[in-house]
Structure 1
Amino acid sequence: MARTGRPREFDKAQALERALLLFWSRGYGATSVQDLVESLHLERGSLYGAFGDKRAFYLAAVRLYWETYESRLVAALETGPVLPALREVLATPTRAEEHASDLGIPQGCMIGNTTAELVPQDADAAEVVAHAHARFTEIIADALRRAQESGEVTTTATPEAQAQLLLFTVQGLSLVSRAGLDTTAALAAIDALLTGLRA
Protein backbone atom coordinates (compact mmCIF):
# COMPACT_ATOMS: atom_id res chain seq x y z
CA MET A 1 0.00 0.00 0.00
CA ALA A 2 1.39 3.40 -0.97
CA ARG A 3 2.28 5.86 1.77
CA THR A 4 0.06 8.89 1.95
CA GLY A 5 0.00 12.15 3.85
CA ARG A 6 2.73 14.58 4.71
CA PRO A 7 6.28 13.37 5.45
CA ARG A 8 7.31 13.08 9.07
CA GLU A 9 8.34 16.45 10.45
CA PHE A 10 11.62 16.90 12.31
CA ASP A 11 13.45 19.53 14.30
CA LYS A 12 15.66 21.25 11.73
CA ALA A 13 17.84 23.00 14.32
CA GLN A 14 18.41 19.75 16.19
CA ALA A 15 19.26 17.94 12.96
CA LEU A 16 21.79 20.64 12.07
CA GLU A 17 23.43 20.40 15.50
CA ARG A 18 23.73 16.64 15.13
CA ALA A 19 25.12 16.98 11.61
CA LEU A 20 27.65 19.48 12.95
CA LEU A 21 28.98 16.87 15.38
CA LEU A 22 29.16 14.24 12.66
CA PHE A 23 30.98 16.50 10.19
CA TRP A 24 33.26 17.74 12.97
CA SER A 25 34.31 14.24 13.97
CA ARG A 26 34.67 12.77 10.46
CA GLY A 27 35.29 15.70 8.13
CA TYR A 28 33.47 16.70 4.97
CA GLY A 29 34.89 14.14 2.58
CA ALA A 30 34.59 11.17 4.92
CA THR A 31 30.93 11.87 5.73
CA SER A 32 28.54 10.47 3.15
CA VAL A 33 24.92 11.40 2.60
CA GLN A 34 24.06 7.90 3.80
CA ASP A 35 25.98 8.59 7.03
CA LEU A 36 23.84 11.68 7.54
CA VAL A 37 20.62 9.83 6.76
CA GLU A 38 21.44 7.07 9.25
CA SER A 39 22.83 9.28 12.02
CA LEU A 40 20.05 11.87 11.83
CA HIS A 41 17.32 9.27 11.26
CA LEU A 42 16.02 11.19 8.27
CA GLU A 43 14.90 10.22 4.81
CA ARG A 44 17.01 11.56 1.97
CA GLY A 45 14.11 13.59 0.66
CA SER A 46 13.66 15.32 4.02
CA LEU A 47 17.37 16.04 4.27
CA TYR A 48 17.62 17.48 0.76
CA GLY A 49 14.41 19.43 1.18
CA ALA A 50 15.57 21.08 4.39
CA PHE A 51 19.27 21.65 3.70
CA GLY A 52 19.99 21.05 0.02
CA ASP A 53 22.93 18.86 -0.99
CA LYS A 54 25.74 17.63 1.28
CA ARG A 55 27.93 20.65 0.57
CA ALA A 56 25.18 23.11 1.51
CA PHE A 57 24.43 21.06 4.64
CA TYR A 58 28.11 21.11 5.59
CA LEU A 59 28.46 24.85 5.12
CA ALA A 60 25.33 25.40 7.24
CA ALA A 61 26.96 23.27 9.95
CA VAL A 62 30.20 25.27 9.75
CA ARG A 63 28.27 28.53 10.06
CA LEU A 64 26.51 27.16 13.15
CA TYR A 65 29.87 26.08 14.54
CA TRP A 66 31.27 29.57 14.10
CA GLU A 67 28.19 31.31 15.53
CA THR A 68 28.47 29.17 18.67
CA TYR A 69 32.22 29.66 18.92
CA GLU A 70 31.96 33.42 18.43
CA SER A 71 29.33 33.85 21.14
CA ARG A 72 31.48 31.89 23.60
CA LEU A 73 34.58 33.84 22.61
CA VAL A 74 32.87 37.19 23.21
CA ALA A 75 31.48 36.01 26.55
CA ALA A 76 34.89 34.72 27.68
CA LEU A 77 36.58 38.06 26.99
CA GLU A 78 33.92 40.41 28.33
CA THR A 79 35.01 40.61 31.94
CA GLY A 80 38.13 40.14 34.03
CA PRO A 81 41.76 39.93 32.98
CA VAL A 82 42.27 39.12 29.31
CA LEU A 83 45.30 36.82 29.43
CA PRO A 84 43.69 34.06 31.56
CA ALA A 85 40.66 34.18 29.26
CA LEU A 86 42.91 33.91 26.21
CA ARG A 87 44.61 30.88 27.75
CA GLU A 88 41.24 29.14 27.90
CA VAL A 89 40.51 30.09 24.29
CA LEU A 90 43.86 28.81 23.03
CA ALA A 91 43.62 25.62 25.09
CA THR A 92 40.30 24.58 23.54
CA PRO A 93 41.90 22.12 21.05
CA THR A 94 43.42 20.22 23.97
CA ARG A 95 39.93 19.41 25.29
CA ALA A 96 38.23 17.88 22.25
CA GLU A 97 36.92 14.98 24.32
CA GLU A 98 34.59 17.37 26.13
CA HIS A 99 32.54 17.62 22.92
CA ALA A 100 32.45 13.88 22.28
CA SER A 101 29.10 12.31 21.47
CA ASP A 102 27.78 9.07 20.07
CA LEU A 103 28.77 10.48 16.68
CA GLY A 104 32.45 10.61 17.59
CA ILE A 105 35.13 12.90 19.01
CA PRO A 106 35.60 16.26 17.28
CA GLN A 107 38.80 16.65 15.30
CA GLY A 108 40.50 20.04 15.43
CA CYS A 109 38.61 23.22 14.56
CA MET A 110 35.88 23.13 11.93
CA ILE A 111 37.12 26.38 10.45
CA GLY A 112 40.61 24.96 10.10
CA ASN A 113 39.23 21.66 8.79
CA THR A 114 37.20 23.51 6.18
CA THR A 115 40.29 25.43 5.11
CA ALA A 116 42.23 22.19 4.69
CA GLU A 117 39.48 20.32 2.82
CA LEU A 118 37.64 22.88 0.72
CA VAL A 119 39.62 26.12 0.44
CA PRO A 120 40.58 27.62 -1.99
CA GLN A 121 38.66 25.52 -4.53
CA ASP A 122 35.27 26.29 -2.95
CA ALA A 123 34.48 30.02 -2.98
CA ASP A 124 31.58 29.72 -0.51
CA ALA A 125 33.73 27.80 1.96
CA ALA A 126 36.51 30.37 1.54
CA GLU A 127 34.02 33.13 2.36
CA VAL A 128 32.89 31.36 5.55
CA VAL A 129 36.50 30.85 6.63
CA ALA A 130 37.51 34.43 5.84
CA HIS A 131 34.57 35.76 7.85
CA ALA A 132 35.50 33.59 10.84
CA HIS A 133 39.15 34.66 10.72
CA ALA A 134 38.21 38.33 10.43
CA ARG A 135 35.79 38.14 13.35
CA PHE A 136 38.27 36.22 15.51
CA THR A 137 41.00 38.82 15.02
CA GLU A 138 38.54 41.68 15.50
CA ILE A 139 37.20 40.29 18.79
CA ILE A 140 40.64 39.39 20.11
CA ALA A 141 42.14 42.73 19.04
CA ASP A 142 39.39 44.62 20.88
CA ALA A 143 40.13 42.63 24.04
CA LEU A 144 43.88 43.15 23.68
CA ARG A 145 43.39 46.88 23.14
CA ARG A 146 41.56 47.07 26.48
CA ALA A 147 44.30 44.99 28.07
CA GLN A 148 46.99 47.30 26.71
CA GLU A 149 45.16 50.32 28.07
CA SER A 150 44.90 48.70 31.51
CA GLY A 151 48.58 47.76 31.54
CA GLU A 152 47.99 43.99 31.41
CA VAL A 153 49.42 43.44 27.92
CA THR A 154 52.59 44.80 26.31
CA THR A 155 52.34 47.59 23.78
CA THR A 156 55.39 46.49 21.78
CA ALA A 157 53.02 45.37 18.99
CA THR A 158 49.60 46.55 17.90
CA PRO A 159 46.54 44.69 19.18
CA GLU A 160 45.80 43.70 15.58
CA ALA A 161 49.22 42.08 15.12
CA GLN A 162 48.91 40.31 18.47
CA ALA A 163 45.46 39.05 17.48
CA GLN A 164 46.82 37.69 14.19
CA LEU A 165 49.52 35.83 16.12
CA LEU A 166 46.85 34.26 18.33
CA LEU A 167 44.79 33.29 15.27
CA PHE A 168 47.79 31.52 13.76
CA THR A 169 48.45 29.82 17.10
CA VAL A 170 44.94 28.50 17.67
CA GLN A 171 44.63 27.30 14.08
CA GLY A 172 48.02 25.62 14.28
CA LEU A 173 47.10 23.89 17.54
CA SER A 174 43.85 22.72 16.01
CA LEU A 175 45.62 21.25 13.01
CA VAL A 176 48.28 19.51 15.11
CA SER A 177 45.58 18.12 17.42
CA ARG A 178 44.18 16.08 14.53
CA ALA A 179 47.37 14.01 14.54
CA GLY A 180 47.45 13.66 18.31
CA LEU A 181 48.35 16.43 20.72
CA ASP A 182 50.68 16.32 23.71
CA THR A 183 48.50 18.36 26.05
CA THR A 184 51.32 19.21 28.46
CA ALA A 185 53.54 20.47 25.64
CA ALA A 186 50.67 22.40 24.06
CA LEU A 187 49.81 24.18 27.30
CA ALA A 188 53.49 25.00 27.88
CA ALA A 189 53.64 26.58 24.42
CA ILE A 190 50.50 28.58 25.12
CA ASP A 191 51.93 29.82 28.41
CA ALA A 192 55.15 30.83 26.67
CA LEU A 193 53.18 32.85 24.12
CA LEU A 194 51.10 34.58 26.77
CA THR A 195 54.21 35.38 28.79
CA GLY A 196 55.46 37.24 25.73
CA LEU A 197 52.26 39.27 25.67
CA ARG A 198 52.33 40.17 29.35
CA ALA A 199 53.34 43.74 30.16
Structure 2
Amino acid sequence: MARPRTFNKNEVLEKILIMIWQHGSCGLSLDELARKLTLSKTSLYSAFGNKDAVLSLCLDLYERQYEQPMIDSFKGEKVSDCIRNFLAFSSRRFEALQTPPGCFMFNCAIECSSLSASFKDKVEQGNSAFRQSLKLRVLDLTTNKDPEYIDSLVDMLLVNLFGLASASRMNFPLSGTHLTLLDKCFE
Protein backbone atom coordinates (compact mmCIF):
# COMPACT_ATOMS: atom_id res chain seq x y z
CA MET A 1 0.00 0.00 0.00
CA ALA A 2 1.36 3.43 -0.95
CA ARG A 3 2.07 5.93 1.77
CA PRO A 4 -0.20 8.98 1.84
CA ARG A 5 1.22 12.17 0.38
CA THR A 6 2.65 14.47 3.05
CA PHE A 7 2.76 17.65 0.98
CA ASN A 8 0.28 19.90 -0.77
CA LYS A 9 0.62 19.15 -4.49
CA ASN A 10 -0.57 22.62 -5.55
CA GLU A 11 1.87 24.41 -3.26
CA VAL A 12 4.76 22.26 -4.47
CA LEU A 13 3.79 22.84 -8.11
CA GLU A 14 3.80 26.61 -7.50
CA LYS A 15 7.30 26.32 -6.00
CA ILE A 16 8.46 24.26 -8.97
CA LEU A 17 7.00 26.82 -11.39
CA ILE A 18 8.89 29.62 -9.64
CA MET A 19 12.17 27.62 -9.63
CA ILE A 20 11.92 26.79 -13.33
CA TRP A 21 10.81 30.34 -14.15
CA GLN A 22 13.80 31.71 -12.28
CA HIS A 23 16.53 29.25 -13.30
CA GLY A 24 15.22 27.64 -16.48
CA SER A 25 14.65 23.97 -17.06
CA CYS A 26 17.78 23.07 -19.06
CA GLY A 27 19.97 21.93 -16.23
CA LEU A 28 17.21 21.26 -13.76
CA SER A 29 16.55 17.60 -13.06
CA LEU A 30 13.84 16.01 -10.96
CA ASP A 31 16.63 14.95 -8.59
CA GLU A 32 17.61 18.59 -8.11
CA LEU A 33 13.98 19.70 -7.74
CA ALA A 34 13.40 17.00 -5.11
CA ARG A 35 16.53 18.05 -3.24
CA LYS A 36 15.58 21.76 -3.27
CA LEU A 37 12.05 20.95 -2.13
CA THR A 38 13.29 18.43 0.46
CA LEU A 39 11.11 15.73 -1.06
CA SER A 40 12.02 12.34 -2.41
CA LYS A 41 12.33 11.88 -6.15
CA THR A 42 9.76 9.07 -5.84
CA SER A 43 7.28 11.51 -4.27
CA LEU A 44 7.78 13.95 -7.16
CA TYR A 45 7.34 11.24 -9.79
CA SER A 46 4.29 9.92 -7.99
CA ALA A 47 2.66 13.36 -7.74
CA PHE A 48 3.65 14.85 -11.10
CA GLY A 49 5.22 12.31 -13.43
CA ASN A 50 8.38 12.86 -15.48
CA LYS A 51 10.09 16.17 -16.24
CA ASP A 52 7.92 16.83 -19.32
CA ALA A 53 4.78 16.28 -17.24
CA VAL A 54 6.11 18.67 -14.57
CA LEU A 55 6.84 21.32 -17.21
CA SER A 56 3.41 20.85 -18.73
CA LEU A 57 1.70 21.24 -15.35
CA CYS A 58 3.78 24.36 -14.66
CA LEU A 59 2.76 25.81 -18.01
CA ASP A 60 -0.92 25.13 -17.27
CA LEU A 61 -0.57 26.80 -13.87
CA TYR A 62 1.23 29.79 -15.37
CA GLU A 63 -1.47 30.25 -18.00
CA ARG A 64 -4.24 30.18 -15.38
CA GLN A 65 -2.54 32.21 -12.70
CA TYR A 66 -0.51 34.76 -14.65
CA GLU A 67 -1.56 34.93 -18.30
CA GLN A 68 -5.33 34.89 -17.91
CA PRO A 69 -5.35 37.95 -15.61
CA MET A 70 -3.15 39.70 -18.19
CA ILE A 71 -5.71 38.94 -20.92
CA ASP A 72 -8.50 40.01 -18.56
CA SER A 73 -6.78 43.39 -18.08
CA PHE A 74 -7.43 44.18 -21.74
CA LYS A 75 -10.66 46.02 -21.06
CA GLY A 76 -12.10 49.49 -21.35
CA GLU A 77 -14.52 51.47 -23.44
CA LYS A 78 -12.07 52.18 -26.26
CA VAL A 79 -9.18 50.22 -27.71
CA SER A 80 -6.78 52.88 -26.41
CA ASP A 81 -8.09 52.31 -22.84
CA CYS A 82 -7.65 48.58 -23.29
CA ILE A 83 -4.09 48.95 -24.54
CA ARG A 84 -3.19 51.24 -21.65
CA ASN A 85 -4.79 48.91 -19.08
CA PHE A 86 -3.09 45.87 -20.61
CA LEU A 87 0.37 47.46 -20.69
CA ALA A 88 -0.02 48.98 -17.20
CA PHE A 89 -1.13 45.63 -15.78
CA SER A 90 1.70 43.84 -17.60
CA SER A 91 4.26 46.34 -16.28
CA ARG A 92 3.06 45.81 -12.71
CA ARG A 93 3.03 42.05 -13.20
CA PHE A 94 6.57 41.96 -14.53
CA GLU A 95 7.76 44.22 -11.70
CA ALA A 96 6.11 42.09 -8.99
CA LEU A 97 8.67 41.00 -6.44
CA GLN A 98 6.86 37.76 -5.60
CA THR A 99 7.60 36.33 -9.04
CA PRO A 100 10.86 36.02 -10.95
CA PRO A 101 11.56 38.63 -13.63
CA GLY A 102 10.37 37.98 -17.12
CA CYS A 103 7.74 35.61 -18.36
CA PHE A 104 7.66 31.85 -17.87
CA MET A 105 6.40 31.37 -21.45
CA PHE A 106 9.06 33.70 -22.83
CA ASN A 107 11.73 31.85 -20.85
CA CYS A 108 10.46 28.52 -22.21
CA ALA A 109 10.57 29.89 -25.74
CA ILE A 110 14.19 30.97 -25.20
CA GLU A 111 15.12 27.49 -23.96
CA CYS A 112 13.21 25.80 -26.76
CA SER A 113 16.17 23.95 -28.25
CA SER A 114 16.67 21.98 -25.03
CA LEU A 115 13.00 21.07 -24.52
CA SER A 116 11.09 18.07 -25.83
CA ALA A 117 9.12 18.39 -29.06
CA SER A 118 5.83 17.82 -27.24
CA PHE A 119 6.56 20.60 -24.75
CA LYS A 120 7.71 22.96 -27.52
CA ASP A 121 4.37 22.31 -29.22
CA LYS A 122 2.52 23.05 -25.99
CA VAL A 123 4.42 26.35 -25.58
CA GLU A 124 3.58 27.28 -29.18
CA GLN A 125 -0.08 26.39 -28.64
CA GLY A 126 -0.11 28.53 -25.49
CA ASN A 127 1.44 31.45 -27.34
CA SER A 128 -1.07 31.06 -30.16
CA ALA A 129 -3.99 30.88 -27.72
CA PHE A 130 -2.76 34.03 -25.95
CA ARG A 131 -2.48 35.86 -29.28
CA GLN A 132 -5.94 34.67 -30.33
CA SER A 133 -7.47 35.83 -27.03
CA LEU A 134 -5.99 39.30 -27.55
CA LYS A 135 -7.17 39.34 -31.15
CA LEU A 136 -10.74 38.51 -30.12
CA ARG A 137 -10.71 41.27 -27.52
CA VAL A 138 -9.46 43.79 -30.08
CA LEU A 139 -12.10 42.65 -32.58
CA ASP A 140 -14.82 43.15 -29.98
CA LEU A 141 -13.80 46.75 -29.34
CA THR A 142 -12.67 48.23 -32.61
CA THR A 143 -14.76 49.53 -35.45
CA ASN A 144 -11.89 48.90 -37.87
CA LYS A 145 -12.31 45.20 -38.74
CA ASP A 146 -9.53 45.18 -41.33
CA PRO A 147 -7.61 41.92 -40.65
CA GLU A 148 -4.26 43.57 -41.36
CA TYR A 149 -5.01 46.35 -38.86
CA ILE A 150 -6.13 43.86 -36.21
CA ASP A 151 -3.08 41.63 -36.72
CA SER A 152 -0.74 44.64 -36.63
CA LEU A 153 -2.29 45.92 -33.41
CA VAL A 154 -2.06 42.50 -31.75
CA ASP A 155 1.54 42.10 -32.95
CA MET A 156 2.39 45.53 -31.50
CA LEU A 157 0.90 44.48 -28.14
CA LEU A 158 2.89 41.24 -28.13
CA VAL A 159 6.13 42.98 -29.09
CA ASN A 160 5.57 45.41 -26.20
CA LEU A 161 4.77 42.53 -23.88
CA PHE A 162 7.95 40.66 -24.86
CA GLY A 163 9.89 43.90 -24.45
CA LEU A 164 8.51 44.34 -20.93
CA ALA A 165 9.40 40.72 -20.12
CA SER A 166 12.95 41.22 -21.41
CA ALA A 167 13.33 44.56 -19.64
CA SER A 168 12.26 43.04 -16.34
CA ARG A 169 14.90 40.32 -16.73
CA MET A 170 17.48 43.11 -17.16
CA ASN A 171 16.12 45.07 -14.16
CA PHE A 172 14.98 48.02 -16.25
CA PRO A 173 12.28 50.14 -14.61
CA LEU A 174 8.92 49.28 -16.17
CA SER A 175 6.60 51.88 -14.76
CA GLY A 176 6.47 55.43 -15.91
CA THR A 177 8.07 56.41 -19.16
CA HIS A 178 6.46 54.10 -21.71
CA LEU A 179 3.01 54.54 -20.14
CA THR A 180 3.41 58.34 -19.99
CA LEU A 181 4.42 58.31 -23.65
CA LEU A 182 1.41 56.14 -24.45
CA ASP A 183 -0.90 58.63 -22.71
CA LYS A 184 0.55 61.43 -24.86
CA CYS A 185 -0.06 59.38 -28.02
CA PHE A 186 -3.71 58.91 -27.12
CA GLU A 187 -4.43 62.54 -26.12
- TM-score bin, normalised by smaller chain: 0.7 to 0.9
Corresponding residue for 2:47? 50
Evaluate the alpha carbon distance shift between residue 59 and residue 5 of structure 1 in structure 2; reply closer, same or farther with a 3 A threshold. closer
Evaluate the alpha carbon distance shift between residue 95 and residue 76 of structure 1 in structure 2; reply closer, same or farther with a 3 A threshold. closer
The one of 164, 188, 191 equivalent to 2:177 is 188
The one of 118, 125, 136 equivalent to 2:130 is 136
Q: CA RMSD in A?
A: 3.3
The one of 165, 173, 179 equivalent to 2:164 is 173
Evaluate the alpha carbon distance shift between residue 145 and residue 8 of structure 1 in structure 2; reply closer, same or farther with a 3 A threshold. closer
Superposition pairs of residues 32-111 of structure 1, within 5 angstroms: 32-78=29-75, 80-91=77-88, 92-93=90-91, 95-100=93-98, 105-111=99-105
Aligned-residue offset at 1:42: 2.1
Evaluate the alpha carbon distance shift between residue 121 and residue 44 of structure 1 in structure 2; reply closer, same or farther with a 3 A threshold. closer
Aligned-residue offset at 1:39: 4.2
> Are the counterparts in 2 of residues 90 and 170 from structure 1 also a CA contact under 8 Å?
yes
1:158 aligns with 2:149: yes
Evaluate the alpha carbon distance shift between residue 194 and residue 38 of structure 1 in structure 2; reply closer, same or farther with a 3 A threshold. farther
Evaluate the alpha carbon distance shift between residue 192 and residue 78 of structure 1 in structure 2; reply closer, same or farther with a 3 A threshold. closer
Superposition pairs of residues 114-133 of structure 1, within 5 angstroms: 114-119=108-113, 122-133=116-127
- 3-state SS of 2:96 partner: helix
- Matches of 2:177 and 2:102 in 1, distance apart? 19
Aligned-residue offset at 1:116: 0.4
Instruction: State the Cα deviation string for residues 112-153 of structure 1 (Å, max 9, x = none).
Output: 10000124863223212222222222222222223322xxx8
- Matches of 1:5 and 1:51 in 2, distance apart? 15
> Are the counterparts in 2 of residues 148 and 154 from structure 1 also a CA contact under 8 Å?
yes
TM-score (normalised: structure 2): 0.77
Aligned-residue offset at 1:41: 3.7
Evaluate the alpha carbon distance shift between residue 133 and residue 121 of structure 1 in structure 2; reply closer, same or farther with a 3 A threshold. same
1:16 aligns with 2:13: yes
Which residue identity lines up with residue 175 of structure 1 in the other structure?
Answer: S
- Matches of 1:51 and 1:42 in 2, distance apart? 13
> Are the counterparts in 1 of residues 78 and 142 from structure 2 also a CA contact under 8 Å?
no
Aligned-residue offset at 1:81: 4.2
How many residues are aligned here? 186
Structure 1 gaps, min length 5? none
